[in-house]
Structure formats: structure tokens, C-alpha cells
């Protein structure tokens, strides 16, 4: 029941802050209160809240969440929560976050979690190489 109440409240909080930004074309500023609420949600006993907070931290690409998400990825007993943490780390995309996902491919005891981490890491590599190819195309065009 708490989960059903928490998700709408979290959504309203984020919508309210995005509407407060004014021009929708401007970069949205994430308030410190939102960040601290999401980080605090990672410490909750409510599995749904933890998972939702991990997801939102990944969507917002908050590098301050990398360490708590890595802790969940390493220490949580719940496979779904570890997968949510891995997805968030993949979305954040910092070198330490991506390395944590890569390490989970080899060291996580759950085959399911390892497979998801492998998919996230492979997608990261694909995007990285696609970006490098685009950059090379720009360089080649500039040289002509």
C-alpha cells in the first residue's frame, strides 16, 4: 500500500519541479531537495520505493548517486533491485558506474542479473563506438 502512495507522490514532486523551471526548452534544474529525497529513498525498506528511486536517479543521470547505487548492486539480496541499480548506473554512464556494471557481469551470483548487466554493458559499448564513428565522419568531412 505504501508503494501505491509513494509513486504518485514522487511523480508529483518531479512534475512540480519540472513545471517550475519555466520555459520547457531550457535545461531543467534539479533541486537539492529532490536529489536528497531520491537518495534517501534508496535507504528505504520499501522495495518499490528503492527501485523507483534508483530508476529516477538513472533517468536524471545524477553522478552523486553512483556510490549508493553501486552498494545496492553489490549488496542487495533482491535480483530486481540489483537490476534496477545496474540500469541506473548504465544510464548515468560515468566510467566508475559503467565499470560497476561490467564487474557484475562476472561476479554477480545471479545469472539473471549478470545477463542484464551484460546487455547494459553491450549497449554502452555499441553507443560508444557509434559515437566514435560519427566523430570520425565529422573529421573526414572537415578535412575535405
Residue 87 is given by DSSP the state H
Site of grid cell 535545461: 27
Decide: residue 110, CB within 10 A, 0-12 exposed, 13-18 middle, 19+ buried: middle
Give the Cα separation of 26 and 61 in Å (integer): 17
Q: Whole-model pTM above 0.85?
A: no
Q: C-alpha distances in angstroms, 29 versus 10, 20, 21, 39, 137?
A: 17, 9, 7, 17, 33
String of DSSP letters for 17-73: HHHTT-STTSPPPPPHHHHHHHHHHTT-S-HHHHHHHHHHHHHTT-GGGHHHHHHHH
Q: What is the pLDDT of residues 57-73, one digit of tens each?
A: 999 999 999 999 999 99
Residue 141: what pLDDT?
A: 63
Q: What is the pLDDT of residues 122-141, one digit of tens each?
A: 999 999 887 766 666 655 56
Decide: residue 92, CB within 10 A, 0-12 exposed, 13-18 middle, 19+ buried: buried
Please state the rounded mean pLDDT for residues 89-104.
Answer: 97
User: Is 3.40.190.10 the CATH number for 2-143?
Assistant: no
Give the Cα separation of 23 and 92 in Å (integer): 25
Amino acid at each position: 500500500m505504501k508503494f501505491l502512495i509513494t509513486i504518485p507522490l514522487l511523480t508529483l514532486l518531479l512534475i512540480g519541479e519540472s513545471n517550475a523551471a519555466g520555459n520547457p526548452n531550457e535545461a531543467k534544474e534539479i533541486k537539492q531537495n529532490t536529489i536528497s529525497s531520491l537518495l534517501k529513498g534508496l535507504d528505504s525498506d520499501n522495495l518499490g520505493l528503492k527501485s523507483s528511486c534508483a530508476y529516477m536517479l538513472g533517468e536524471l543521470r545524477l553522478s552523486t548517486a553512483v556510490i549508493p547505487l553501486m552498494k545496492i548492486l553489490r549488496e542487495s539480496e533482491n535480483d530486481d533491485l540489483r537490476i534496477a541499480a545496474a540500469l541506473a548506473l548504465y544510464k548515468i554512464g560515468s566510467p566508475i558506474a559503467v565499470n560497476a556494471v561490467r564487474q557484475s557481469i562476472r561476479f554477480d551470483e545471479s545469472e539473471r542479473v549478470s545477463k542484464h548487466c551484460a546487455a547494459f554493458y553491450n549497449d554502452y559499448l555499441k553507443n560508444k563506438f557509434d559515437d566514435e564513428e560519427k566523430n570520425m565522419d565529422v573529421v573526414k568531412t572537415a578535412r575535405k
